[in-house]
Structure 1
Amino acid sequence: MASKFIALPKGVSEKTFEAAIAEFRSILGQDSVLVTAEQLAPYIKTMMPVPDADHTPSAALQATTVEQIQKIVAVCNKYTVPIWMISTGRNFGYGSAAPAERGQVVLDLKRMNRILEVDPDLCFALVEPGVTYKQLYDYIQEHKYPLWLSCPAPSAIAGPTGNTLDRGVGYTPYGEHFLFACGMEVVLANGEVLRTGMGSLPKSNTWQVFKWGYGPYLDGIFTQSNYGIVTKFGFWLMPAPPAFKPFVIQYENEDDIVEIVETIRPLRISGVIPNAIVIAHALYEAPTKAKRSDYVTGTGAITDDAVRQIMKDHKLGAWNVYAALYGTQEQIDVNWKIVTDSFSKSGKAKILTEQEAADDPAFQYRAALMRGDMTLKEFSLYNWRGGGGSMWFAPVSQARGSETLKQMAMTKRILGKYGLDYSGEFIVGMRDMHHIVDVLYDKTDPAMTKAAYQCFDELLTEFSNEGYGTYRVNTAFMDKVAHTYGPVQRHVHKTLKEALDPNGILAPGKSGIR
């Protein structure tokens, strides 16, 4: 007999699940409990090279209050129904809105979208998980607050809660997002509500200004984990600087990456350049101006000759270094001289300011990100090859030129083996680099989809063997990445899980934790 549901939670019978759905409806109302294939379509489609059926949810719950979430987790514990929590539900290239495992119930928090507080003097915000960067940006603009956001590349549709909880990054001086988080409200698996840090103190007015509170610092365990459901999130905002100077520095050869990083590192560590610097490869920037089919057809990775032609046609460097200066004009003038003197020593750098690069679409969207403006331009990447396949590969290295060259060579070799292009950038933090590579493929092509899976698996294997840890990954490869960090860390994660969620109802499989 055909089931009433398009999927069922692992180990839960249809009769039991039907009883759980009835209780969910009594909590949320009929229209906020989604079970049909049509209703669940937004929660099914992924960009990963695995069957979407592997990540099909059994239902989706659209909660609006903390009290509803408390009642939902009680039902989940009663029937051992697992839920997969999402905030805005975008997460493109990392799993989208689909759960980690087939049959999990999606707990969709996008309707919890109140901006609870923005303080223009102390420069902080307190929001619910469904608030998007665009919503908060508009709020700040409407109130004429002199504050800037720090956003990930798809800024307009992403949200600060989800991005920070997955330890995403941005491009202003506040770009290490979790570093600027301050205070969370969390519904635990037993229904209790925890306010971290100073929020646990009755009548506290320092919840969003002092991170630590008293005793062990807890906020970190609720990032990239399944230990609780974050329902309020506090974070610091950047005061709008009196002046802002974005710039791009282009280099013509791939092996110039060594010089680039060796030049950048002291400028970042000393704070001369205060924001996360992006070193974008030509093929990462090319989709803002061209399509792959304009230069190459057929199978195999794009050729070096084609990349050179793209660079020539669209005025790109092999590497395009994006950064900015912030502060008073006097501060910027002093630091600009230090920057230009540092990059000019070898004679290889082509330094362009806003005046020279203002009409360049790649520069426009990079400059927007570095001042916290809204943009969706990076989604041009998905038009490069087409076919809807994308996985972000994100290993970390020290900020050393030799490390960068080694990682790029490894990545290009493995991608080329499977006929895929290198579309990558390095984001230079204070002492580390995030190496961000979009593994783009045509998901409508079964052979390419199989190759993309094998390619990504090999990237993770080879990089971990070389000691390069991946800091974030899509849901299809979470177990593999967790394994690379060793048995002791996994045991600690499991111990915390068993203590906080003994029935295993919260996002089983998240970050490899069950």
Structure 2
Amino acid sequence: MSPSPLPSTPTLSNAHDGIPSRLLLKATSAKDLIYAGKTVSDTIHLTRGLPVPQGISKPAFLAAIDDLKSALGAEHVQLNDTEIKNGWYMEHPNTHDMMPLFDFEEFVASAVVYPSCVAEVQMIVRWANKHLIPIFPISMGRNLGYGGAAPRVRGSVTIDLGKRMAKILSINEDDFTCLVEPGVSFYALHEELQRRGLGDKMWIDTPDLGGGSVVGNTVDRGVGYTPYGDHWACHSGLEVVLPGPDAQVLRTGMGALGVGGENTWQCFPYGFGPYSDGIFSQSNFGIVTKMGMTLMPNPGGFESFMYTFPNESDLAPLMEIIRPLRISNILENVAQLRHGLQTLSVKGHPRTKYYSGFGPMPDAIVRTELEKTATGACAWVYYGMSYGPAPIRKLKLDLIDSAFKQIRGAKKIDPATLPADEYFWSRDRIASGTPDLEELKWVNWMPNGAHAAFSPVSPIRGADATKLYELAKKRHMEAGIDLMPAFCVGLREMHLIVEIVYDAADAGMRRRAEKCLRDMIDDAAALGYGEYRTHIALMDQVAGTYSWNDHALMKFNNQLKDSLDPNGILAPGRCGIWPQRYRNRGWELKGGESSSEGVGVGPRAGSSKI
């Protein structure tokens, strides 16, 4: 167990990845809850020693690291050869996934390097090509639930872009845009708007937790909860270091103009010719070092609302009500329909407070416990927000109220009845552009709490929602795991986010969680639903479900990979894209493997060696 009292959480005043001071008390409370549920030490000794990547000897690897230290400064290159530390969300590791599906030492970095500028990123890429060492870039490494900072190939050298590349390069008050480096968090961008006195003029869009990178979240196609919730759709302009031996730098869109394009780079994303930004999203085709983003004008007012619905069978008719309201922008933000159990678990208490039996918690107990809360007993909870001046909000809210109350037993919760610590208020802050620190409290559901997400996309239709919910329920019942689904509703699609919460120190539970995830991926694909994002352990399987026309998409991705990255050094295996040196050598994970590694790697591009 960790010593007590716990060290204080870093704030933005002294760390790029810190929290705003306004959240310090909340962070302290959340951290206390996390550590109260730990049964193992945060520090893990590396029993397998330095994880040297395949294809290079340990002496050659250490000599290459010495070369990198000479070029960047020894203090900016750290070997990972003794122990790893887990921490928690705001003090996360950049060497591995602190919420693993496999053993902690499986997806682990051999070293971490900290560049300070684009030229140093180029230097690292050239170094990796020279020595044929896999590199894995992260912005801040907080992609929790999907693999965190862990590299897909064991022994890769992590490039932590966030620590020394964390500048807000511009905020344009006329165009409502910004330009940021990878180390800028949603917290940092929001606080800078406040510091400049712009908070009443423009908002950011934030995901559930504000500590992640604006660049990292957007490039991985994450979402937020204002009308600007589709982050990838709201970006404009990338600067990218390509992975080839010359480490070429390019700018996309208007940034490709000979003068650099700064004048219109964040105003118009497309430029001239093929639109190339997409190949740098959820890929291993380049390292994003700058990104433009649009900011949301203050809508002139906002008002959160919450409805509860009593029965699981309300899901299908609810979706038929939600779809036309969402498409017409009466429901105007990326709102959430959450299962009642998740509303209970987000209070941060361990599962044993309510139930100690094996298997999913019985519905009767869930309802009994919810009855004691401000939400009351229910199957589903809808969190939304209306924007604009009061008369406009009233018109929209009246339409929503009339529509939702077609569901028998629907109840609108009066915010005045809710205590200040009710989760509703966290959703209120997030949907109005203020990053918070509340969401991950549900990992306390299990000791040594970890989570991994099942994230399929479907149309906003009752039949589709029902199919996905039923398959998830079936597989969770088989695995003996509590089901916590949330439907995040976009304009014409919805993301079903099912968070599997498990004990990271329980190997048997990790295996059950992995099997449940893999079964749901195959079940959903058979019904025509694909995941939009996944854990690094599951990327090969998910990529394999996008198999139309004899895997034409993956063949295209492989062509791009081999052209842009001939030596296969950049994030091999990310999103199921393997470079030629790794391809067909047993690196792909489809389930049941005892190791994440394949059998060796091929020679340098153009080499005659077999």
Per the normalisation by structure 2, the TM-score is 0.82
**Whole-angstrom CA distance in 2 between matches of 1:225 and 1:258:** 35
Equivalent residue, structure 1, for 2:206: 151
**Alpha-carbon displacement from aligned partner over 1:403-450 (angstroms, at most 9, x marks no partner):** 111211110110111110001100010111100011111122222222
1:113 counterpart = 2:166: yes
Structure 1 residue 39 displacement after superposition: 7.3
**Whole-angstrom CA distance in 1 between matches of 2:429 and 2:419:** 11
Equivalent residue, structure 1, for 2:115: 63
2:452–2:499 contact (8 Å) kept in structure 1? yes
Equivalent residue, structure 2, for 1:196: 252
Structure 1 residue 38 displacement after superposition: 5.2
Structure 1 residue 40 displacement after superposition: 5.5
1:3–1:14 contact (8 Å) kept in structure 2? no
Map residues 43-442 of structure 1 onto 2, 5 A cutoff: 43-111=95-163, 112-145=165-198, 146-155=201-210, 157-190=211-244, 191-203=247-259, 204=261, 205-289=263-347, 290-314=349-373, 315-316=375-376, 317-357=378-418, 359=420, 361-442=422-503
Moved more, 14-23 or 65-74: 14-23
Equivalent residue, structure 2, for 1:458: 519
**Alpha-carbon displacement from aligned partner over 1:109-159 (angstroms, at most 9, x marks no partner):** 11210000011221111000011111111100011111111111112x111
**Whole-angstrom CA distance in 2 between matches of 1:65 and 1:150:** 26
**Whole-angstrom CA distance in 2 between matches of 1:288 and 1:170:** 18
**Alpha-carbon displacement from aligned partner over 1:150-205 (angstroms, at most 9, x marks no partner):** 111112x1111000111100110000110101000000113111100000003320
Moved more, 189-198 or 290-299: 290-299
2:80–2:112 contact (8 Å) kept in structure 1? no
2:136–2:156 contact (8 Å) kept in structure 1? yes
**Whole-angstrom CA distance in 1 between matches of 2:83 and 2:186:** 26
Equivalent residue, structure 1, for 2:75: 31
**Whole-angstrom CA distance in 2 between matches of 1:244 and 1:460:** 37
Equivalent residue, structure 2, for 1:474: 535
List alignment gaps of at least 5 residues for structure 1: none
Moved more, 235-244 or 308-317: 308-317
List alignment gaps of at least 5 residues for structure 2: 1-45, 86-92, 579-610
* One-letter code aligned to 2:255: G
**Whole-angstrom CA distance in 1 between matches of 2:114 and 2:358:** 43
SS of the equivalent of 1:153 reads coil
Structure 1 residue 345 displacement after superposition: 2.9
Structure 1 residue 26 displacement after superposition: 1.9
1:489 counterpart = 2:545: no
**Whole-angstrom CA distance in 2 between matches of 1:240 and 1:188:** 37
2:314–2:407 contact (8 Å) kept in structure 1? no
**Alpha-carbon displacement from aligned partner over 1:354-400 (angstroms, at most 9, x marks no partner):** 33446461101111111111212111111012223311110111100
Equivalent residue, structure 1, for 2:63: 19
Moved more, 39-48 or 392-401: 39-48
Distance 1:471 1:247, change over 3 A: same
SS of the equivalent of 1:216 reads coil
Moved more, 430-439 or 22-31: 22-31
Distance 1:177 1:293, change over 3 A: same
SS of the equivalent of 2:130 reads helix
* One-letter code aligned to 2:107: H
Moved more, 326-335 or 96-105: 326-335
**Whole-angstrom CA distance in 2 between matches of 1:485 and 1:278:** 27
* One-letter code aligned to 1:24: L
1:40–1:57 contact (8 Å) kept in structure 2? no
Moved more, 65-74 or 48-57: 48-57
Moved more, 401-410 or 228-237: 401-410
Equivalent residue, structure 1, for 2:596: none
Moved runs in structure 1, 4+ residues, more than 6 A? 2-5
Distance 1:428 1:325, change over 3 A: same
Equivalent residue, structure 2, for 1:509: 573
**Whole-angstrom CA distance in 2 between matches of 1:344 and 1:439:** 31
Structure 1 residue 287 displacement after superposition: 2.0
**Alpha-carbon displacement from aligned partner over 1:268-299 (angstroms, at most 9, x marks no partner):** 10111210120011111112334311111032
Per the normalisation by structure 1, the TM-score is 0.96
SS of the equivalent of 1:60 reads strand
- Aligned pair count reads 512
**Whole-angstrom CA distance in 2 between matches of 1:453 and 1:258:** 28
2:51–2:81 contact (8 Å) kept in structure 1? no
* One-letter code aligned to 1:218: S
* One-letter code aligned to 2:177: F
* One-letter code aligned to 1:25: K
Equivalent residue, structure 1, for 2:595: none
Structure 1 residue 4 displacement after superposition: 12
* One-letter code aligned to 1:287: S
1:275–1:323 contact (8 Å) kept in structure 2? yes
Structure 1 residue 259 displacement after superposition: 1.9
SS of the equivalent of 1:52 reads coil
**Whole-angstrom CA distance in 2 between matches of 1:346 and 1:286:** 22
* One-letter code aligned to 1:104: S
Structure 1 residue 63 displacement after superposition: 1.0
**Whole-angstrom CA distance in 2 between matches of 1:244 and 1:354:** 14
**Whole-angstrom CA distance in 2 between matches of 1:356 and 1:271:** 28
CA RMSD of aligned residues (A): 1.7
**Whole-angstrom CA distance in 2 between matches of 1:37 and 1:284:** 39
Distance 1:3 1:18, change over 3 A: farther
**Whole-angstrom CA distance in 1 between matches of 2:222 and 2:386:** 22
2:253–2:269 contact (8 Å) kept in structure 1? yes
**Whole-angstrom CA distance in 2 between matches of 1:130 and 1:39:** 25
**Whole-angstrom CA distance in 1 between matches of 2:384 and 2:248:** 44
Moved more, 265-274 or 284-293: 284-293
2:80–2:109 contact (8 Å) kept in structure 1? no
* One-letter code aligned to 1:6: L
**Whole-angstrom CA distance in 1 between matches of 2:473 and 2:183:** 37
